[in-house]
Structure 1
Amino acid sequence: MTTKIRCQWCLSSDRMVDYHDTYWGVPLHDDRELFAKLILDINQAGLSWSTILNKQENFYKAFDDFEIRKVAAYDELKEQELLQNSGIIRNKLKVKAAINNAQRVLEVQKEFGSFDAYIWSFTKGIVQQHHIEDGEVTPATNELSDRMSKDMKKRGFKFTGSTVIYAFLQAVGVINDHVKTCFRYAELSGK
C-alpha cells in the first residue's frame, strides 16, 4: 500500500489530516462558508489551527451556523452569551469583529452581488498556484493578501491584517499552497 505524501503541517492529528485532505485549499464559493472561514481564521490569530479545528463545531453552533444576517443582527445580550461560551475563543475583540464583519459582508454583498464575487475579484477568479518545494518556508503574507487586507480595512472589516487574510486565502483555495510533492497539490493545480 502506498502512503500518500502530504504537507508536513497537517500530520499532527487525524483531524488535521482530514482537514488538509478534504477542505484546505479547495476553491470555495459559498458566501456563508467564506464568512465562516474568515471568522475561524480571525480566531486563529495568536493560536494554532488545531485549537480552532478542535472547536470548529462549537463555533458553528455558537454563531448560528454562520448565517450572515443572524450574526450581523447580534445584540449585546448575544455578545455576552458568546463571551461566556467555553466552547469557543472568548476574546471580546474577536467576538465584536465577527458581528462587525457580518455587517460588512452584507454591505459587500449589496455592492458586488455576493461575498464570493468580492473575494475572487482580487484574482479575477483565478487560483494563485504557488510552487512550494518540500522544506521551503511558506510565506505568511504576499502582495495579494496585503492588497485585500488594505481594501477590507478600508471597508471597515476588523482583524483582517495581511497574515490573517493570507491564511484565509489558503483555506478557501484562492491560493494553492500545498507543497509540490503533496498529493493535493496535483489534484488542485491540475498537474
Structure 2
Amino acid sequence: MKENLTNLQERPRCAWVPKDHQLYEAYHDNEWGVAVHDDLKHFEFLILESAQAGLSWETILKRRLHYAEAFANFNWIEIAKFNQQNVENLMKNSGIIKNRLKIQAAINNAQRFMEVREEFGTFDAYVWQFVGGKTKNNYRKNIKEVPSETEESRALSKDLRRRNFKFVGPTIMYAYMQAVGMVNNHTQDCFCYAQES
C-alpha cells in the first residue's frame, strides 16, 4: 500500500502542480484537461474560474466545497433567483471570496447560462463548438509554451460578453477551457500527457 502511494506521489506532473500538494495533485490527475460534457460541471467551473480572477487557483480549490454550499451546489436555476439579500448573505460567508462583483457575476451568469441552454439545448453543445467539438491537444514541451489566452478563448470570451456574461475575459476562458478538457495542455513530461495523447 505504501509503495503504491509513493508511486502515485512520484509521478511526473505538469510544472504548475506543487510537489506533495494533495489537493492540486488530485485536481491535476483527475480533472484538469478531462473532457466535460455535463452542464452542472460546466457551470461549476464557470463560477470557480470567474472567482479565481486575480487570485491563485489554490485559493479557489481550498474553497471549492464552500462554493458548492454557498451557490446551491452550482444549480444555475436556483442561483438565477438569488436576490440582494442572498448577495448580502454571501458577502458574510467566510468560506468564499467576498467580492461583490464576482458574486453578482455568478448570479448574472446563471441567468445567461439558462438563455444559452434555451438556445442550444445544452451549454455543452454551445461551448464545445469553439474547438470544433473535440479536445484540442497542444503537445507542449513545457509550461513556458502554454499561452495565457488563444484565438479560441478570445472568440469564446467575445461571444459570452456579447451574451452579457461577466468575468469571462480571454484569460479566464482559457483557464476554463483547460479545466473542462476543451484544451489539453498537459506537458510532454507529465504522466497525463501519455494517457491523453
Structure 2: segments with no counterpart, 5+ residues: none
Pairs within 5 Å for 1:151-166: 151-166=159-174
Q: Which runs of 4+ in 1 moved over 4 A?
A: none
Q: Residue in 2 aligned with 1:20?
A: 28
TM-score w.r.t. structure 1 length? 0.96
- Residues 103-162 of structure 1, C-alpha deviations (whole Å, 9 max, x = no match): 000000000000111111112211111111135331100000000000000001001000
- 2:147 matched to 1:124? no
Q: Residue in 2 aligned with 1:90?
A: 98
Q: Residue in 1 aligned with 2:18?
A: 11
Given candidates 107, 110, 117, the residue that maps to 1:109 is 117
Please give the alpha-carbon distance, in whole angstroms, between the structure 2 residues aligned to 1:188 and 1:74.
39
Please give the alpha-carbon distance, in whole angstroms, between the structure 2 residues aligned to 1:187 and 1:71.
36
SS of 1:153 mapped into structure 2: helix
Q: Residue in 2 aligned with 1:41?
A: 49
Please give the alpha-carbon distance, in whole angstroms, between the structure 2 residues aligned to 1:68 and 1:135.
34
State the number of aligned residues: 189
Given candidates 155, 161, 180, the residue that maps to 1:172 is 180
TM-score w.r.t. structure 2 length? 0.93
Q: Residue in 2 aligned with 1:54?
A: 62
The letter for the 1-side match of 2:109 is N
The letter for the 2-side match of 1:170 is Q
Counterpart contact for 2:14–2:143, Cα < 8 Å: no
- Closer/same/farther in 2, CA of residues 90 and 135 from structure 1, 3 Å limit: closer
